Structure 1
Amino acid sequence: MDRVVISAAKATPAQQAESRLDEIAGAASVVDNAEIEQGRAATLADVLAFQPGVIAQSAGGTDAIKISIRGSGANASPGYFREGVKFLFDGLALTGPGGTPYELLDMAGVNYTEVLRGANAFDYTALSLGGAINMVTHTGYTAPGNYARFEIGSFGWRKQQLSTGGVEGNADYYISLSNSERDGYQDYSFTKAKGVVGNFGYRFSPKLDTRLIVRYREEYHEDPGELTLDEFKHNSSQANATSVAQRDDSKKNGSIWVGSKTTYTFDDDSQLELGLVYHNYRQILGSKSPSTPNHWQWRDINTSLRYLRFDQLFGHQSNTTFSFSNSIHDRAEVQTYDGISKALLKDTNYSGSFDTVFALGNELELVEGLWLSSGLSAVNIRRDVDVDFSDRPNTTQFPQHYKYDNWSLAPRLGLRYDLTPHFQIFGNVSRSIDPPSAWSISPSGPSNNFIKPLVEQKANTVEVGLRGSQGIFSGSLALYRSWVQNELLTVELVPASGLTPARTATSNASSTIHQGIEAGLDTQVWQGTRGDSLLLRQMYTLNDFYYRHDNEFHANELPGLPKHMYQAELKYQNPNGFYAGVDVQVASKAAVDYANSFYAPSYTVWGAKLGYEHPTQRWQVFLDLKNLTDKDYVTAISPLYNSRGQDAAGLYPGDGFGAFTGVSFHF
């Protein structure tokens, strides 16, 4: 008989996560951060590139990137908390009743990232229209030994990272230190940050284990502000004159997030997970401003419980999950001062606001290869807002104290069918609930001495799609349509002028539609006899978001995002470690105001990357070239209400041509 050799390699944690997400009756994907680190690893925007349906736009090179999935949070400007998507570390919540502060949304110590679109984030008690992004931290098992990485590049970019990890008996540990600085492409856009990531695990017995994850980060950045289209065309690297005059900046004095997850396995059929998070984050907006600096002091507590049960129901596999989560503002206060006299102008307290979710889900195999997904969430949203002090009398009809307490139900039903072992179709219907952030109910500006009675944004969504591989092709396709009620839209009503800050407001809109296409395709263009290969990656996103018969804006499209987005990368990989590729990003024009009277121009941006990773993975070096043609383009938009066809400041320019290089070592 001929000799038969069977070999197998253990799946990486990212590959294991991808297999697990394939059991969801909807669109979800995994990003292996090792692939991102083959080039510049600056912000979460680098991680979320090539993710269909996800728009991640970096403005000014800071972590305050604009992130939107299926149009969620599209109308928020980059400088505020992220909304419309739930963010987690290792399945534990970072997002609280005030949204998501962005300073911890960096890549330090992250092994892989899960992107779960819409209701497909059900297992994480995430009910937002956009779903969830879960960043999984390295452990002593996934990153053993010592590691050093150094990056430098255009616009004064420099980054250093040192980490160590290992396993000692039943314990494992991982610690990472990072530091970065950037002078900036735009004037007045300096940024710096440093942080610590720790992950410590211990296995008490085969049934009981626990893990402690710690993230700490300090950050400071200047805010160059938005430009008009005329300013953008004449000099895209200039800063907004008003932002410079106001000395707009953001100072994070040290944000700490500590999460603990303990898992107890009763037997082969049941498991219990208990999570606890402490999150303390402070910031000063306009710390040097002669206008109105804002001091934000926040402290959140999150508790979560998850019970998993695996049974046979009438001879069919049935997997049941019960989940509970509660995120509460243990302390939340915004104080606004006069920048010259330092007198207190307004003191608003949001302490006691919380989001609580109870969820019951089930996966039932109806016949071989056909699974029914069902779930129901009960959501309790409470917003407690007190204007403790204001230097101006309340002349509105709304009281100084506002409390909102409401329960809602969010069901989900889906089907998935394995046509072949490598090809699957799916569909689902769901309901999403997006509560207003606590701080958006009462704006922090001193002239906004009122409380707006906002309610939850709710949407019913239908999604169908497929994913799998066949021959040289692998990819996914999802089509969705959401009927949205009371969409939370944030708009700049009055632009900043001189030392007067801009006036913004969040309100519930009339009915809107969010629908789109999310398509990704990888093609093995060529495979050499020596193991080298040529891979073409492509991503297309259709963002079709518009009003339904609005009294003022009729059927206008919602501003803030390009309607069409296409990305592609052609990459050569040699088995000896050399790699090289060229990439392109194409975006259509995007509305800047709700009246659709003013648009940001379309753009095409090219890039290239090459590098070498030693076959033993002991060291790596790369060169990453961005915006090869030095194209002036608008990377993000701060939506305006109605510019009446006039040029107005609402555009964030992207970086010009940049070259970045880096080297890393394992030792």
Structure 2
Amino acid sequence: MGGAVQAEEGVDPRLATVVVTGNKASEAEQARAELDKVAGSVRVIDNKEVERGRAQNAEDVLAYQPGVFAQATSGTGANKISIRGSGLNTFYQGYVMGIKFLYDGMPISGPGGTQEDMLNMAAVDYTEVLYGANAFAHTALSLGGAINFVTHTGYTSPGARVRLDVGSFGYRKQELSYGGVSGDSDYFVAVLHNERDGFQDDTPNRGKDFIANFGHAFSPKLDTRLIVRYREEKLLNGSTLTKEQIEHDPTHNRLLSDRRKNGTTLISSKTTYTFDDDSKLEVGLGYNNYPLHNGWRYAATAQDWHSTDLNTVIRYLRTGDRLFGLPSDTTLTFSDTRLIDGDVTGYRQSDWVKVRHTDYTGSRDTVFALGNELQLDDQYWLSTGLSLINIDRTARIQYSITPNTSTFPDNVSYNDWHVAPRIGLRYQLSPEVQLFGNVSRSIDPPVTWQHGSTANPYLRPLDPQKGTTVEFGVRGSAGIFDGSLAIYRSWITDELLTVVISPATPTSDAVTANANASDTIHQGIEAGLDTRLWESSRGDSIVLRQAYTFNDFYYRNDDEFGDNELPSLPRHYYQAELQYRHSQGFYAGISVRSASSYYVDYANTLKAPSYTIWGAKVGYDDPGERWSVYLDARNLTDENYVTAANTAYDLKGVDSPNFYAGDGFGVYAGVSYRFE
């Protein structure tokens, strides 16, 4: 109130009490404030915003995030996800490369890759997107950085809640959760079931999840949390088509491709001990088991995968120190992801004869990271970091029905150390505006199966992908505007690229090859802007939300392809939503998503077509936070478009079945209710 509190006559003014009330910041808002301390691009996505429409897959969750390309294929959890061109063409029914994925700070990405069925983001409170080396805190050294999904707790989702969703193409989703707090403990449990008949013919998918999150504070200094995730999934994927087929009959399914997971299990715990001298120790342990039966009904060669990871993360954080007489915070982290049991066995579908068995057990990624945040003065902060990564890869073909007559080996084993430094600077231009810049090194190890699985009787030696990235940007708010802008350039050596030599047919599996490329460049612009176009005195508003990404990825004087563009991602990608919100909970809006054309082969002879699709949404959120309802219409003009594509070597301009069809016009509706 701008001055001293006047005490009543005869009352000691030291006893006067002023009570200040206000809304406590949500967990997502607190995470956003913490990530604003990173000298680089970061984003926080509140799942409450996502659930104001269809929340089916990563395409829905990661929408409107500049620099992030996330597109679903077959309308399932299979999504092509790329940040700054990470793993831009390492694509197999949604398998994601070049990004480290985590749940609650514990990795689900390991030496064998990422279990993509867990990318349905079930029971997530908010999502952190950390671009490139800005994911240093999670010891993520990949070009794309990290995406961390944070599970609901008894504090963020109290009471019983039920949510039901239905929609086009047989979409159905049911969710039941219950959370609460009891003394020094909190708990949250959820069960989910999802179904979809599919846009393309014969593409049903079914899945069910169980999530449990338990926390307990033993004392003000010691607390722990245990999280369990379990998912079963069975689906038929939509096949790739030619451009002509997508234009005239996008629901056609050229061939059947199936995948089944009988129970992916993630168990993680995190214990924190806080010392008296402004320091704390975090110890995280994780167990990830993700079996996969690929092609168990229709493929020429059925594949039986087994993968079990053990994860260890130990982090020591110290704040309030002085370095060179300046305020200093230091973090020391050790992380280890170890494939304790991993293999793949191929069976000939016609008679179930074993054709090949490859073992990957023992592969691991171990990182030691030291980071420091030094406050130079009231406006400048210097961030420095140094990571050491030890990459151990073991791949052995232990059985093959056909002999290896190639020049490639049937055994690959190596143990390499790499150094990845980082330096960044933040400048607080004003209380609302921050400038940042950084230089960093990225290291992307090949995942085990990139060396080879069941297609060939040999393995391909591969080197880790290395890159140096420079980034500059600004984030903040001014008047009616709130947004961010980042410009980056990455010099990459040994980029891990995949080529589809021949697409799958009804009688043969797809033939692909992985290799290290010659030198490449990844550079681009990431811009996000929210504009309050109108706001009434009672809180009604009209907001325009925009996200634009410019991708410029190309070879540097390649012997065969010169300076050709790298295929598989649109050069320009734009998303926008114009939404009206009433102070009492009603909202309505229209949206647009537009992508430019892009090449699908390294020789730059054939392009995926550009597209623009429109959407509309209307809904209501009870101000008392008891219930909500939405209606979400997608692809209003029923556009036939390509949502993602394979990458080929040289198509010589000839149309080929390398394109995934996007969903046609669809309407989705949902309702949720929370019981007291």
Q: Shorter-normalised TM-score: what interval?
A: over 0.9
| Deviations, residues 479-529 of structure 1 (Å, cap 9, x unaligned) | 000000000011101222331111011110000000000000000100012
What does residue range 621-640 of structure 1 map to in structure 2 within 5 Å? 621-640=629-648
Instruction: Find out whether 1:402 has 2:429 as its counterpart.
Output: no
SS in 2 for 1:103: helix
- How far apart in 1 are the matches of 2:166 and 2:115? 27
Structure 1 position 7, deviation (Å): 4.3
Question: What is the aligned partner in structure 2 of residue 121 from structure 1?
Answer: 135
Runs of 4+, deviation exceeding 3 Å: 1-7
Q: Any idea what SS the aligned residue of 1:293 has?
A: strand
Contact 1:59 1:78 in 2 (8 A): no
Output one character per residue of 1:216-255: Cα deviation in whole Å (capped at 9) or x when no partner.
0001110221001111111111112xx23xxx10001110
**1:643 aligns to 2:651 (yes or no):** yes
CA distance in 2, matches of 1:475, 1:497: 46
CA distance in 2, matches of 1:2, 1:234: 69
For 1:548 and 1:429, the matched residues in 2 are separated by 21
1:537-576 to 2 correspondence within 5 Å? 537-576=545-584
Q: What is the CA–CA distance in structure 1 between the aligned matches of 2:75 and 2:503, rounded to whole Å?
A: 23
> Do the aligned partners of residues 388 and 80 (structure 1) sit closer, same or farther apart at CA in structure 2, a change above 3 Å counting?
farther
1:187 equivalenced with 2:201 (yes/no): yes
2:671 maps to 1:663: yes
1:598 is aligned, of 606, 615, 625, to: 606
| Contact map agreement 2:533 2:544 (CA 8 A) in 1 | yes
Q: Shift of residue 290 of structure 1?
A: 5.7
Mapping for residues 403-482 of structure 1, pairs under 5 Å: 403-445=413-455, 448-482=456-490
**Match 1:357 to one of 358, 364, 367:** 367
Task: Quote the residue 1:278 is aligned against.
Answer: 287
Paired amino acid for 2:157: A
Q: SS of the counterpart of 1:230?
A: helix
Q: Hey, what does 1:261 align to over in structure 2?
A: 270
Which residue pairs with 2:590 in the alignment? Answer: 582
> Is the 8 Å Cα contact of residues 208 and 231 (structure 2) preserved in structure 1?
yes
Q: Which residue of 2 aligns with 1:523?
A: 531
Aligned-pair identity in percent equals 54
| Structure-2 separation of matches of 1:288 and 1:498 | 12
- Which of 313, 327, 334 is 2:344 aligned to? 334
Distance across 1 between alignment mates of 2:299 and 2:498: 25
1:490 and 2:501 are equivalent in the alignment: no
1:233 is paired with a residue of what secondary structure?
helix
Q: Give structure 2 stretches of 5+ with no counterpart.
A: 6-18
Secondary structure of 2:297 counterpart: coil
Please report how far the alpha carbon of residue 106 of structure 1 lies from its aligned counterpart in structure 2 after TM superposition: 1.3
1:435 positional shift: 0.2
Matching residue of 2:383: 373
Render the CA deviation track for 1:303-350: whole Å, top value 9, x for unaligned.
010000111224421010001101011100100001011110000000
Question: Counterpart in 2 of 1:156?
Answer: 170
Q: How many residue pairs are counted as aligned between the two chains?
A: 660
Shift of 1:425: 0.2
Given that 2:526 and 2:549 are in contact with CA atoms closer than 8 Å, whether structure 1 keeps it comes out as yes
Find out whether 1:43 has 2:51 as its counterpart. Answer: no
Alignment of 1:202-351 (within 5 A): 202-240=216-254, 243-244=255-256, 248-289=257-298, 291-310=300-319, 311-351=321-361
User: d(CA) in 2 for partners of 1:189 and 1:177?
Assistant: 24
**Separation (CA, whole Å) in 2 of partners of 1:413 and 1:488:** 25
SS at match of 2:134: helix
Map Cα deviations across residues 79-132 of structure 1 (whole Å, 9 max, x no partner).
153210000011111100011011111121100000000000001000000000
Indicate if the aligned counterparts of 1:280 and 1:300 stay in contact, CA closer than 8 A: yes
Residue equivalent to 1:610: 618
Shift in Å at residue 8 of structure 1? Answer: 2.4
Q: Does 1:652 align with 2:652?
A: no
How far 1:189 sits from its partner (Å)?
Answer: 1.2
What are the Cα deviations for residues 363-422 of structure 1, in whole angstroms up to 9, with x where unaligned? 001111200000000000011011010001111233322201100000000100101111
d(CA) in 1 for partners of 2:592, 2:92: 23
RMSD after superposition: 1.3
Check conservation: 2:299, 2:508, Cα contact below 8 A. Answer: no
Secondary structure class of the residue paired with 1:367: coil
Structure-1 residue corresponding to 2:120: 106
Check the 8 A contact 1:466/1:477 in 2, yes or no.
yes
Kindly indicate whether the alpha-carbon contact (under 8 Å) linking 1:148 and 1:162 is maintained by their aligned counterparts in 2.
yes
Equivalent pair of 1:485/1:512 in contact (CA under 8 Å)? yes
TM-score, normalised via structure 1 length: 0.98
Q: What is the DSSP-based 3-state SS (H/G/I as helix, E as strand, rest coil) of the residue aligned with 1:410?
A: strand
Q: Which residue of 2 aligns with 1:20?
A: 34
CA distance in 1, matches of 2:202, 2:379: 57
Task: Kindly indicate whether the alpha-carbon contact (under 8 Å) linking 1:162 and 1:177 is maintained by their aligned counterparts in 2.
Answer: yes
| Alignment partner of 1:512 out of 503, 506, 520 | 520
2-side partners of 1:226 and 1:551: how far apart?
Answer: 30
Contact 2:467/2:490 (CA < 8 Å) preserved in 1? yes
Cα deviations by residue, 1:420-475 (Å, 9 ceiling, x for unpaired): 11100000000000000011112321xx1111110000000000000000111010
Bigger Cα displacement from structure 2, 548-557 vs 344-353: 548-557
SS class of match (1:35): helix
Q: Distance in 1 between matches of 2:440 and 2:323?
A: 24
